[in-house]
Structure 1
Amino acid sequence: MLDAAVKALSDEQLEELTKVRQTLHMSPEASGEEEQTARFVVEQLKQIGADRVVSGIGGFGVIAEYQGAADGPTVMIRCELDGLPIEEISEVPYRSQVPGRGHLCGHDGHMVMVLGVAHMLAKYPPQKGRVLLMFQPAEETGAGAPAVIADQKFAEFRPDFAFSLHNLPGRPMGEVSICREYANCASRGMQINLRGKSSHAAAPEDGLSPATAMATLMGVLAELGAGGEMNDQFALSTLTHARLGEPTFGIAPGFGELRVTLRSISDALMDDMVARAEQAVARATKDLEVSISWHDIFLACVNHPESRDHIIKAAKYNGAALKELDFPMRWSEDFGRFGLDGAKSAMFFLGSGENQPQLHNPDYDFPDKLIPVGTAMFTTLIDQLLGLND
């Protein structure tokens, strides 16, 4: 193992990476639109150095590859390319220059931490095996990881180990948190379209309104999961949108739409929620035309015990405060798909400040103080599994 001080980024590298992070922050692209971000990342990787850079994976995904001299496992470090379709309201000088778009989840910082790892690998290449730095598209919609895995370009890269992180507002700066098993909840969006027949508001009996069915479903679907304290039966159903007819006074409505987000600690509980939700819709809408579609599908993200142990070891090696958690984050991540694809995967969390705005808040900004922390954690994980040449 290289000494932690040896693996530290230089002041010049940190200054440059901070500038890169702020440049990325000014030009966010939403899921599936990350063409310019990917191009910028490729340019950075070519300047820093890699054995090979492959782009266009699963959309705009980018992989930088580093080969060791001897045989060994493949270790993937994954970050995200996409921003959010949210208007930024912060006053920082590098605020988003793209109307209606913002890096308000910290993916700009995640990318830069992985670029920091690229700097380390350019100086200290792996002794054995192979390192992949994966810049993944479309995490926010849950479409990115499945698209990467399904892409034939990814077939030659499939990792044995996969690691990722997410910054975590509300926790002390630089604290490493790791969940015992489940790291993130499963979730999916349910869209229900109801169609009957409109009529004059003076003669509603001559039409077929979805209003009663919608009112019933708004109550019944909310009862699928009450949320509350996180435990091994956690389930939450959140009504996110409702629309009934035209915004007039003279028409009894003939159509309606409901959107609900289902969330659960495990995929098994999610399957149960989905079945009960579909049954509830069938019971409430017998006389209506109904269509159900599913969106933003995230499977539960589960930490592999071996990779989890490596993260704990890396945190202790780097002198980071460590918090071991029994239960996952409520929010979802598509990173778990790599575990289902055969990688020993695990995600950890880095505290980004106890008084920081929440993820997806319009005034959120990734703290640059975390850049060397995340870079050190990822570099140490690679060193533990593959060894780095001094």
Structure 2
Amino acid sequence: MSSSSLLDLRQTLHQNPEIAGEESATAEKILAFFAKLNPDQTITNLGGTGLAFIFKGKNPGKRSLFRAELDALPIQETGDPSYKSQITDKAHLCGHDGHMTIICGLGEKLAEQRPTSGEVVLLFQPAEETGEGARWILDDLQFQQIKPDFAFALHNLPGFPLHQVVTRKGTFAAGSTGLTISLIGKTSHAAHPDAGLNPAQAIAELIQDLPMLPEKLKNFALVTIIHAEIGSLTFGTSAGKGSLSLTIRAFDQADLESLIEMITSEAKKIALAEKLSCEFRFVESFAVSKNNSDAAEIAEDVIKNLGLDIMIKPEPFRWSEDFGLFSQSCPSYLFGLGAGENCPQLHEPTYDFPDQLIVTGVNVFEGIVRAING
């Protein structure tokens, strides 16, 4: 298939975005594309709308997995490409349309020339943006059939030169989680606050204390307060409940877990002192994305042989990627592909995946396949 038909696929995907957990029509389009490629095995409804296509070699060998994301964002596109999103308030503003197209292009290469050994798994996961999809995939019993020896993924990166590969060994991107702490007391008349249990003081203390907790850790970690709410706009009533929402992030998975532990125990301690009950709700949890040194070596040899410019990033990225969960379960490698210095940032309403990256992405992934599976 020509690169122009990959271009058509990318632009069709761009016009028809679906958000996390709703990607069934997107999955149908990918399924139709692979029907022509005759993979040796197809797994559907993997972790919900997920798909896996398996290309097998004649000889035994390693199983390598390459991942793309199916979901778009719940944001209105304001750019004006000819293939602009046709769905109000939904758009591919993170480039998952491009990432899917790259994995489809890799599928074409594998259909033309099967691997000689082992198996290559092309995985399309749902709900990357919410940090749920990787967990759904790993928890699906069907995943046991495709549990890989190595897993690979890329993400396009605006702000870096077009086609530049951005990488590092060890942590590539932070782990993070959203947390809402709910404090429940008792309302009373505003003239008699002492007759109630108002969470205002506790929330004020948490706002002061929690962002300081990362200082107790050696590596980078961050607590960002994103939302607070106390009572209601009823001037005769002393508040009886409130909540505080924060984002917690760290470069090390153990640090992330101990920071969560510190935050929850601090909140319980303050709630107890104020005679409040306390509940926790975690959302959008992403594991740390960690690059395995063996996987990195294989990939970086390929990247050098392709003559691509490599930038070794001194610090991990502070954002998170759902691929991190794969990296916590098998040797993995996630790298960035520069989308151009003047490309709008990810999640901006004018962002559009640069189509020039399709061939670059396919070439890197095919090189990795040939290095591992022949």
TM-score band, normalised by shorter chain: over 0.9
Q: What amino acid is aligned across from residue 89 of structure 2 in structure 1?
A: G
Q: Contact 1:181–1:327 at 8 Å: present in 2 too?
A: no
Could you say which residue in structure 2 is the equivalent of 1:104?
93
**Alpha-carbon contact 1:69-1:128 (below 8 Å) kept:** yes
Which residue identity is paired with 2:309?
Answer: A
Aligned amino acid, residue 53 of structure 1: T
Q: Please tell me whether residue 89 in structure 1 is matched to residue 78 in structure 2.
A: yes
Aligned length: 371
On the 8 A contact 2:164/2:338 being kept in 1, the answer is: yes
Match status 1:380 vs 2:355:
no
Q: Which residue of 2 aligns with 1:21?
A: 10
Cα deviation 1:89-123 (Å, max 9, x = unaligned): 22223222222322111111100000010111111
Q: What is the root-mean-square deviation of aligned Cα atoms in Å?
A: 1.7
Counterpart among 290, 293, 315 of residue 327 in structure 1:
315
Shift of 1:272: 2.1
Runs of 4+ in 1 over 6 A off after TM superposition: none
2:289 alignment counterpart = 301
Partners of 1:32 and 1:262 lie apart in 2 by: 24
Q: Hey, what does 2:61 align to over in structure 1?
A: 72
- Return the offset for 1:232: 6.8
Q: Matched residues in 2 for 1:125 and 1:75: separation?
A: 13
Equivalent positions of 1:321-360 (< 5 A) are 321-341=309-329, 343-360=330-347
Give, in angstroms, the shift of residue 302 of structure 1. Answer: 1.0
Judged with a 3 Å threshold, the aligned counterparts in structure 2 of structure 1 residues 111 and 241 are, in CA distance, closer, same or farther, namely: same
Q: CA deviation at 1:33?
A: 1.5
1:326 deviation in Å? Answer: 3.4
Q: Paired residue for 2:240?
A: 254
**More displaced 10-residue stretch of structure 1: 196-205 or 74-83:** 196-205
d(CA) in 2 for partners of 1:200, 1:249:
9
Provide Cα deviations, 1:293-329, integer angstroms capped at 9, x if missing partner: 2222222111111110111111111111011223321
* Aligned counterparts, 1:228-307, within 5 A: 233-286=219-272, 287-307=275-295
CA deviations 1:9-33 (Å, max 9, x no partner) are xxx6221111211111122222211
Q: 1:362 aligns with which of 324, 341, 349?
A: 349
8 Å Cα contact 2:16/2:87 also seen in 1: yes
Change (3 A) 1:88 1:311: same
Q: How does 1:160-239 map to 2 (within 5 A)?
A: 160-225=149-214, 233-239=219-225
Quick one: percent identity of the two aligned structures? Answer: 39
| Aligned amino acid, residue 363 of structure 2 | A
Distance in 1 between residues matched to 2:200 and 2:222, nearest whole Å: 24
8 Å CA contact retained: 2:175, 2:324: no
2:307 corresponds to which letter in structure 1? G
CA distance in 2, matches of 1:216, 1:336: 33
Q: Tell me: CA distance 1:25–1:383, structure 2 relative to 1, closer, same or farther (3 Å).
A: same
Q: Tell me the distance in 1 between the aligned counterparts of 2:218 and 2:125.
A: 30
Distance 1:360 1:21 in 2: 18
Whether the aligned pair in 2 keeps the contact of 1:49 and 1:118 (CA below 8 Å) is no
Residue 325 of structure 1 aligns with an amino acid whose one-letter code is K
Deviations 1:262-313 (A, max 9, x none): 0001011112211221122123222112111222222211111111011111
Gaps of 5+ in 1: 1-11
- Give the Cα separation in 1 of the matches to 2:114 and 2:73: 34
Amino acid at match of 1:370: L
Give the structure-2-normalised TM-score: 0.95
- Unaligned runs of 5+ residues in structure 2 are none
**What CA deviation, in whole Å up to 9, does each residue of 1:360-381 have, x standing for no partner?**
2222211111111101110110
Distance, in Å, in 1 between the alignment partners of 2:262 and 2:327 is 27
Q: Distance in 2 between matches of 1:320 and 1:366?
A: 19
- Whether the aligned pair in 1 keeps the contact of 2:6 and 2:105 (CA below 8 Å) is yes
Cα distance in 2, alignment partners of residues 171 and 116 from structure 1 = 23
Is the CA contact 1:181–1:326 (under 8 Å) kept in the aligned structure 2? Answer: no
CA distance in 2, matches of 1:93, 1:198: 56
Alpha-carbon spacing, 1:216–1:365, altered in 2? closer, same or farther (3 Å) = same
Which of 95, 117, 120 is the matching residue for 2:109? 120
Q: Distance in 1 between matches of 2:190 and 2:85?
A: 46
Residue identity matched to 1:328 = P
1:79–1:111 CA contact under 8 A, matched in 2: yes
Matched position secondary structure for 2:349: coil
Report how far residue 347 of structure 1 moved. Answer: 0.6
How far 1:182 moved relative to its partner?
0.7
Contact 1:174–1:352 (Cα < 8 Å) also in 2 = yes
- Structure 1 window deviating more from structure 2 (352-361 vs 130-139): it is 352-361
Contact 2:189 2:237 in 1 (8 A): yes
Distance 1:291 1:158 in 2: 36
Aligned-residue offset at 1:42? 0.6
SS of structure 1 residue aligned to 2:85: coil
Distance 1:386 1:295 in 2: 38
**1:9 maps to which residue?**
none
